[in-house]
Structure 1
Amino acid sequence: MTFYNKIKWILGILIVFVLIITTNLIDKNNFVRVRDSVETIYEDRLIAKDLIFEMLKSIQEKELAVLVSDSTFFKYRNETINDHLTTLVLRFDKTKLTKDEAEVFGNLKENVKLLIASEKSFVKTEKSNNVDMLKHISGLKENLNDLSKIQIDEGRRQMSISKRAVDTVELFTHIEIYFLIFLAVVVQVIIMYQPKDKEK
């Protein structure tokens, strides 16, 4: 084998090596995208959905107490519910929020503050005027409903990202396999091929 042929073989093998490394790096990148998407679905969607559910339970408990003018609730339980609600809001604030989610969440935080303020005046007026409280509770329920819908939409979007990444990995895997089969055939042909000597 001449020096020139050796160089050609080395370059050919290097090209194959670079192609395989490139496809592996692309695969790795896609697996990272899948992992991040799954983590986001869990951390920022499922946990957020649970927090929304817990907030809704607290709001509904308050709503029931307002509707029946439950004085024992406001005397003994309301402060605990407010603390729990505040904790849930703080935990929700730590999740990654989309632009729409941040806007709705800002409204929710404002409605929580307004509800707590209106509770104080509700208790002072001996539970005679519950209109403001019911308005804030209604606003909170609407905010929570909107946030819940956003969780579903974002979860769907993250699943779509995962699916695209997995599809890309599968495509590159198939291309890589076909390319390696092609190279194996070419190498076999080169090895088996014996040129005929020219008769002089």
Structure 2
Amino acid sequence: MEWKFSLGQRIRTGVALLVVFLLVLATNMMDSNHFRIVQSNLTTIYEDRLLAKDYLYKISRQIQVKRELIQRSDIEQWSDLNTALNDSIQTLNDRFASTQLTENEALVFESLKRNIRSLREYELKLQRNDPLNTELTTSGSERYFTAVYDDLDALFKIQLEESDKVISNANRAIDTSNLISRIEIGVLIAIGLLIQLLVFMRPLK
């Protein structure tokens, strides 16, 4: 059986197919954009939050070693290890600085670096005392360690808050993409029915 379409039917069919094509193209572009958002957020969580948190944890462990050695007044072991500890902390600071920092995070990080420098200056004073003065090391150094730990705690808190924000953004992008996909299916079904009507509808005389 040969199907014969009038000129009007052909035009309506072409317009309907063009609408379908543009709809699919538009939704595909939106889906691609949402995919990029999710991909970017996943990268941010790993590189700027998980790795950053690992750097902060390692810095806190190095600071704790310093604190324990000073509290034990073990001048010989402390002097031997302190240079290596300082180098390790500096490397970790540089790695943390290479991550994407928020404005508040950058301010707290600058405070952390200042307090670490103050701690090192205090340590240089301790190195000139042999043997270490117990009262000087246990009470005098404590305020430097407290300041460093306060900054580290603040940075840890920022990591959690920013991770929650990034995950929320990714979830919103996924939810939006799912919603658009459902709407797209509904619209395509409606357009398919409309095409049937347009193509096979007899023109009014």
TM-score by length of 1: 0.91
Distance 1:134 1:121 in 2: 15
Q: Decide which moves more: 185-194 or 18-27.
A: 185-194
- Distance apart, 1:7 and its partner CA: 3.2
1:13 lines up with 2:17 in the alignment: yes
Counterpart among 49, 67, 76 of residue 53 in structure 2:
49
Name the counterpart of 2:164: 156
Distance 2:188 2:16 in 1: 13
TM-score by length of 2: 0.89
* RMSD value, Cα: 1.7
Name the counterpart of 1:88: 92
1:105 lines up with 2:113 in the alignment: no
The residue type paired with residue 139 of structure 1 is A
Query: Is 1:74–1:123's contact at 8 Å kept on the other side of the alignment?
Result: no
Q: Secondary structure at the match of 1:96?
A: coil
Distance 1:132 1:101 in 2: 28
Q: Decide which moves more: 126-135 or 57-66.
A: 126-135
Distance 2:80 2:46 in 1: 35
Identical residues among aligned pairs (%): 33
Runs of at least 5 residues in structure 2 that lack an aligned partner in the other structure? none
The residue type paired with residue 42 of structure 2 is V
- Distance apart, 1:75 and its partner CA: 2.2
- Distance apart, 1:17 and its partner CA: 1.1
Distance 2:140 2:189 in 1: 73
- Distance apart, 1:2 and its partner CA: 4.4
Report 1 or 2 for greater relative contact order, CA contacts < 8 Å, sequence distance ≥ 6. Answer: 2
Distance 2:189 2:16 in 1: 15
Runs of at least 5 residues in structure 1 that lack an aligned partner in the other structure? none
Listed one character per residue, the Cα deviations across residues 117-171 of structure 1 (whole Å, up to 9, x for unaligned) are 1100011133222244321111111111110010000000000000000001001
Distance 2:54 2:36 in 1: 26
Residues 28-177 of structure 1 aligned to structure 2 (within 5 Å): 28-126=32-130, 127-128=132-133, 129-130=136-137, 131-177=139-185
